Amino acid sequence: MAKLGLNVDHVATVRQARGGVEPDPVTAAAMGELAGAEGITIHLREDRRHIQDRDLEILRRTVKTKLNLEMAATQEMVRIALRTKPEQVTLVPEKRQELTTEGGLDVILNLKSITDAVKRLRDNGIVVSLFVDPDQEQIKAASKSGADYIEIHTGAFAAAPDWQTQKRELDEIDAAIKLATKVGMGVNAGHGINYVNIKPLAAIGGIEEYNIGHSIMARAILVGMDRAVKDMVELIKYA
Ligand code: PXP
């Protein structure tokens, strides 16, 4: 059955807005797990705009399900991952000016450096996932890199202005899942998934883990973390 990987970056964003100590993403992660999240996802960005090294260190020791570290394939980040050993690393592209991750990795263009990073991580027992657009050529390159999973970038699907566009994007995602499965890779998905668009997405099947942050934290502010996580887990499990 598909799983929720709860992204707690946005809790850290609120904390950093005041440069203080609350709210703590570590507390949010623990509450999320108690409510049914089966993974905790954090993105340690080069500029440390939300998640801090301290969060990674503590979460490494406290997460009871699975810690998924999103990071750029840089020397610094690979070193940090090899030291802290999250269960999974998701390699993502990173631009300093972006508000959030804006597109999938260009695995074709960066095949050599990505393959090197994948090897170093996998040699140390870390499962590796590549965040890619639902693009057949990128998925073929992801397979060549030796990564275990792709995480399909669902941003274009989530931003579709009408149902015809959404259906087209969903077809691309479906084709991406089929190709990844055929080449022996597991499939995760993330970016812009909310309580409405999860329904058609989950209905196509084949996605193991949904990494969701913004919509859940937005709801948690209003109704509480427990309810926000439980509502999403229910939609994922019973779609
Ligand atoms: N997956 C990846 C690779 C991401 O970069 C993000 C955004 O941090 C997410 C999932 C979660 O996206 P959202 O916050 O829109 O749910």
- Give tens-digit pLDDT for 104-134: 999 999 999 999 999 999 999 999 999 999 9
Number of domains in the chain: 1
68 lines ligand 1 (CB under 6 A): no
CA distance 1 to 153: 20
Q: What is the C-alpha separation between 89 and 87, in angstroms, rounded?
A: 7
Q: Please list the residues that pair with 6 across neighbouring strands.
A: 40, 212
The per-residue pLDDT for range 209-233, each reduced to its tens digit, is: 999 999 999 999 999 999 999 999 9
**Strand partners for 75:** none
- Closest Cα to residue 28, out of 213, 197, 234? 213
- Say what the pTM is: 0.97
Give me ligand 1 centre to Cα 42, in Å: 9
What pLDDT is recorded for position 95? 74
**What is the pLDDT at residue 238?**
83
Our answer on whether the CB atom of 193 is closer than 6 Å to any ligand 1 atom is yes
- Note the pLDDT of residue 93: 95
| Pair 9, 49: CB distance under 8 Å | no
Residue to substitute in 211, 219, 232, 235 for testing ligand 1 pocket (most ligand atoms within 8 angstroms of CB):
211
154 CB near ligand 1 (under 6 Å):
no
Evaluated on CA atoms 10, 13, 17, 18, the torsion sign reads positive
Catalytic residue among 43, 151, 169, 209: 43
CA distance 231 to 195: 8
Distance CA(32)–CA(40), nearest Å, equals 8
Whether the CA torsion 157, 160, 164, 168 is positive or negative: it is negative
Whether residue 209 lies in the annotated active site: no
> What does the alpha-carbon distance between residue 69 and residue 105 come to, in Å, rounded to a whole number?
16
Give CA angle at 6 (66, 163), nearest 5°. Answer: 130
- What pLDDT, on a 0 to 100 scale, did the predictor assign at position 239? 76
pLDDT beyond 90 at 18: yes
Atom of ligand 1 nearest to the CA of 9: 8
Q: What pLDDT digit, counting tens, does each position of 56-76 carry? A: 999 999 999 999 999 999 999
Question: Where residue 97 falls among pLDDT bands split at 50, 70, 90?
Answer: low
Ligand 1 pocket test: pick from 70, 188, 209 the residue with the most ligand atoms within 8 Å of its Cβ. 70
Q: What is the full DSSP assignment across 64-110?
A: SS-EEEEE-S-HHHHHHHHHH--SEEEE----TT-SS--S---TTTT
CATH at 121 = 3.20.20.70
- Domain with 234, as residue range(s), is 3-238
**Total count of residues recorded for the chain:** 239
Nearest to 69, CA basis, from 155, 127, 21: 127
Please confirm, yes or no, whether 70 is among the known catalytic residues.
Answer: yes
Q: Give distance in angstroms: CA of 191 to centre of ligand 1.
A: 4
Residues 189 and 206: their CA atoms lie apart, in Å, by: 10
Rounded to an integer, the average pLDDT of 151-170 is 97
Residue 153 is among the residues annotated as catalytic for this protein = no
- 185: nearest Cα among 154, 220, 144, 217: 144
